[in-house]
C-alpha cells in the first residue's frame, strides 16, 4: 500500500538553529502534503498544506516565515523550522492523500533546548 517515509524520527536542536523534516511518498505521487503539529496529550492541528509546484497554504496563526514548506517534486515535501525555540518542541506529522484515504508519516519528535 501507499507509504509516506518521514525523517528524522527524532531530533534535538539548540535554540536559534533550523531543522528540516522530510516526507517522501513511496510508490505513489503526492501532489498534496498536509503538515500537522501535535503537542503532548493533544490532537493533531493542521499547520499547512503543500502542493507540488506552488506555494503552500498556511492555517490561521501559523507563521509562514518560521515554518518553511517546500514541495519541489511529486515525491518529496519538506518542512523547515527556522530559528527554533523551545515552544516549537512538538511532534510533527505529514500526511498525503493516497491508498484510498490518507497516508501518514511516522512523525518527527522535535525537542528544542
Kindly state the smallest distance separating residue 55's Cβ from other proteins, in Å: 15
Contact residues: other proteins, CB under 8 A: 6, 31-32, 34, 42-46, 49, 91, 93, 95, 97, 100-102, 104-107, 109
Our CB check for other proteins shows the closer of 46 and 82 to be 46
DSSP 30-76: -SEEEEEEE-TTS-EEEEEEEETTS--EEPTT--TTTEEEEEEETTE
Euclidean distance between CA atoms 51 and 110, whole angstroms: 24
Q: How far is the CB of 93 from other proteins (least distance, A)?
A: 6
By beta-carbon proximity to other proteins, the closer residue of 31 and 70 is 31
Give the chain's radius of gyration (CA, Å): 13
Amino acid at each position: 500500500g501507499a507509504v509516506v517515509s518521514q525523517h528524522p524520527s527524532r531530533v534535538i536542536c539548540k535554540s536559534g538553529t533550523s531543522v528540516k523534516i522530510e516526507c517522501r511518498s513511496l510508490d505513489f505521487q503526492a501532489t498534496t502534503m498536509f503538515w500537522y503539529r501535535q503537542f503532548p496529550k493533544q490532537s493533531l492541528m493542521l499547520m499547512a498544506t503543500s502542493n507540488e509546484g506552488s506555494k503552500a497554504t498556511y492555517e490561521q496563526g501559523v507563521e509562514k516565515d518560521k515554518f518553511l514548506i517546500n514541495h519541489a517534486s511529486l515525491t518529496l515535501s519538506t518542512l523547515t523550522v527556522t530559528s527554533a525555540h523551545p515552544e516549537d518542541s512538538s511532534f510533527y506529522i505529514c500526511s498525503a492523500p493516497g491508498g484510498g484515504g490518507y497516508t501518514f508519516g511516522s512523525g518527527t519528535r522535535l525537542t528544542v533546548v
